[in-house]
Amino acid sequence: MTRVLVIGGGIAGYCAALAARRDGADVTVVARAPGATALYAGGMAIIDDLEAVLRTPHHPLARLGIDPVGIATELDTAISTLQLALGKEGLKFEGTWRRRGLYADIHGVARPANVVPTTVAPGELGALSGKRVAVIGVPQVGDYDAASTAQALKELHGIEAFAEDVTIDDLPVAASLTDLYGRRAPAPRARGAAVAYPPGFVALPDEGFELLSSPPSPHGWRLQQALALGAVQAEVTSFETTQDRVVAARSSARSFRADAFVLATGRHIGGGLKGGRVTAEPLLGLGVFHDGSPASSFGVRLHLLEYLDPSEEMRMGLMTDKRLHPLREDGAVAFGNLYAAGAVLGGYDYAGPCGFGVPILTGWLAGRYAAKQGE
C-alpha cells in the first residue's frame, strides 16, 4: 500500500487526503495550525469561467494540461466526495461548481459563491427577491449593525429587508460577533418573513439562514474544525531527501516516512511561502515564480509592483508540471515523489474567483497522483 504524507491541514490538504485514501493509499495528514481556510467568508468560490481559466498563462489549472471535459469530470467527483465527507462530520454543503449564486455578508455586500453551507444556501439573493427579510440584530454586539445590513440589502439588491433586534441575556460587556458562536438562534417575532442571522448561531428556524462573515469567521472555524479531525498536529521543520526523492518529513518530535508527499502548506497565512526581500518556499527551497519567471529575477521591481498593486503579491507562488510536481527555480522537477497543491501555488489570485477551486482540484489531483506513486 502506498504511504502518502500530506503536509497542510487546510482545504487543499483535506482534498488530497480524501483522494489518496479513495485510491487505496495509507494517508497521514500533518498540520501546524489553521490557515487561510479558517478565514473564508462562508461561500466557496470554485470557478467562474472554466474556458477562460484554462487559457490563462501560468494558472495552476491551465498547467495541468487537462481538457475542459476532463477538468469538469474531476471537479464533479472532487466536490461531491468533499460534500459527502464533510456531511459525515456534520457539516452539510450545497451547490456545484457549474452554478454561482450571490450571498450577502454581514454588511449586506454580495459575494459570489458556488458551494455554500446549507445554513447559508436559502439566503441566495435571487431566491430572496420578492420576499420580506428580517435581519436579526443583537444590540449588545458592537461589530455588526442589523439596521445597516437591512438598508444595504434594500439599496444594493432591492430586497424588502428590515432589522429586528433580539436580546441575549448572558453576553459579555462589549460583546462581538464571536460571542454568538454556538448559541441557539433566538426565535424571530416577524411572521412570514425569511430571517437573516449573523453567522455563528445554531439550530436556525426553518425560514432562517446565515449571512456570510468577515474574519474571524464562524463559517471558517466550523470548516476548519471538521478538516482537522484525524490530522496529526505537528510542524514539519525539514525533510530528508536524496537527489531526486523525498524520503521523510521531520518535526521536532518525530520523522514521517512515506512513499509520496503532498505539500499543501498554503500561501503567507498558512506559512507555505515566506515573505521578505525575495519571497521563498521555506521547507525545500522550491522555486517561487511570478508570471512564469523566478521571483528572484525581478529583484526590487516586484516590490514596487506589489506596492502599486497588492494583488501582484497574491499571484506569486510555486509552479508545477502537469502532474503537480513543484519545480526548482531552473524549471526542473524538484523531486519525483513530491506534489504541491492549493494556495502555495502561484499564477492566480487566491482571493479571486478560484479561491477554493484551485485548492480543491489541485489537492484532489495531487492526492490521486501521490497514491499512484508506485505504479
Ligand X SMILES: Cc1cc2nc3c(=O)[nH]c(=O)nc-3n(C[C@H](O)[C@H](O)[C@H](O)COP(=O)(O)OP(=O)(O)OC[C@H]3O[C@@H](n4cnc5c(N)ncnc54)[C@H](O)[C@@H]3O)c2cc1C
Which residues bind to ligand X, rule: CB under 6 A? 7-13, 30-33, 35-37, 39-41, 43-45, 215, 235-236, 264-266, 269-272, 283, 342-343, 350-351, 355-356, 359
Between 39 and 127, name the residue whose CB sits nearer to ligand X: 39
Task: Give me 227's grid cell.
Answer: 478538516
Q: What are phi and psi of 12, to 5 degrees?
A: -65, -45
Provide the minimum distance between the beta carbon of 235 and ligand X in the complex, in angstroms, as a whole number.
4
Cis peptide before 216 (omega within 30 of 0): yes
Provide the minimum distance between the beta carbon of 11 and ligand X in the complex, in angstroms, as a whole number.
5
Between 298 and 350, name the residue whose CB sits nearer to ligand X: 350
| Partners of 124 in beta bridges | 103
Provide the minimum distance between the beta carbon of 362 and ligand X in the complex, in angstroms, as a whole number.
8
Between 137 and 266, name the residue whose CB sits nearer to ligand X: 266
Between 123 and 359, name the residue whose CB sits nearer to ligand X: 359
Q: Is the dihedral of CA 53, 54, 58, 63 positive or negative?
A: positive
Provide the minimum distance between the beta carbon of 279 and ligand X in the complex, in angstroms, as a whole number.
15
As to burial, measured by CB atoms within 10 angstroms (0-12 exposed, 13-18 middle, 19+ buried), residue 12 is buried
Between 29 and 159, name the residue whose CB sits nearer to ligand X: 29
> Cα angle vertex 136, ends 135, 138, to 5°?
140
Provide the minimum distance between the beta carbon of 132 and ligand X in the complex, in angstroms, as a whole number.
27
Do 25 and 3 form a contact (C-beta atoms < 8 A)?
yes
Sequential DSSP letters for 124-191: BHHHHTTSEEEEEE-TTBTT--HHHHHHHHHHHH--EEEEEE---TTPPTTB-GGGGTTPBPPPPS-S
Between 208 and 355, name the residue whose CB sits nearer to ligand X: 355
Do 18 and 364 form a contact (C-beta atoms < 8 A)?
yes
Provide the minimum distance between the beta carbon of 28 and ligand X in the complex, in angstroms, as a whole number.
12
Q: Which residues contact 336 (CB under 8 A, 6 or more apart)?
A: 244, 245, 325
Q: Is the dihedral of CA 46, 75, 217, 314 positive or negative?
A: negative
**Cα–Cα dist 365/15, whole Å:** 9
Provide the minimum distance between the beta carbon of 234 and ligand X in the complex, in angstroms, as a whole number.
6
Provide the minimum distance between the beta carbon of 173 and ligand X in the complex, in angstroms, as a whole number.
28
Between 45 and 85, name the residue whose CB sits nearer to ligand X: 45
Between 46 and 141, name the residue whose CB sits nearer to ligand X: 46
